[in-house]
Amino acid sequence: VAVLATAVVFAALVAVFVVSDGDTDVGARSPLLGAPAPAVVTSTVDDAPFDLARRKGSWVVLNFFNSTCVPCIAEHPSLVDFVADEAGRADRAEFYTVVNDDSDGAINGFFAANGGDWPKLRDDDGAVAVAFGVAKVPETWIIDPNGFVRLRIMGAVDDGVLEAQMARLRAGDQ
Partner 1 sequence: MTAGVRRLAWVGLLVVTAALLVFGSVRDSGPLTQQDRIDAITQRVACPTCDGESVYVSRAAAAQAIRAEVARQVGDGLKTDDEIVAYIADRFGGQVLLVPRGSGIDALVWVLPVVVSVALVAALASSFRRGAVATGARSRRAQLVVTVVVVAVVGVGGGVLVARQAGQRLPLQTATGGIEDSTASLLAQARLAGPTDVKSAIELYARVLETDPDNVEALTYRAWLIMLSARQFDESLRQQAYASTITALGRAIELEPGYPDAMCFLGIVVYRDGGDAKSAKEFLDRCLERNPPNEVRGMVESLAAEAAAEVGG
The H-assigned helical ranges of the chain are 2-19, 70-87, 104-114, 127-132, 161-170
Does residue 94 touch partner 1 according to CB under 8 A? Answer: yes
Q: Which residues pair with 50 in a beta bridge?
A: 42
Task: Please answer whether residues 112 and 126 qualify as being in contact, where contact means their C-beta atoms are separated by less than 8 angstroms.
Answer: no
Does residue 109 touch partner 1 according to CB under 8 A? Answer: no
DSSP 54: G
Query: Contacting partner 1 (CB under 8 A), which of 7, 15, 35, 41?
Result: 35
Does residue 101 touch partner 1 according to CB under 8 A? Answer: yes
Does residue 53 touch partner 1 according to CB under 8 A? Answer: yes
Does residue 147 touch partner 1 according to CB under 8 A? Answer: yes
CB of 28 to partner 1, least distance (A): 11
Does residue 135 touch partner 1 according to CB under 8 A? Answer: yes
Query: Contacting partner 1 (CB under 8 A), which of 31, 88, 171, 174?
Result: 31
CB of 91 to partner 1, least distance (A): 5
Task: Please answer whether residues 60 and 139 qualify as being in contact, where contact means their C-beta atoms are separated by less than 8 angstroms.
Answer: no
Angle between helices 70-87 and 161-170 (to 10 degrees): 50
Does residue 126 touch partner 1 according to CB under 8 A? Answer: yes
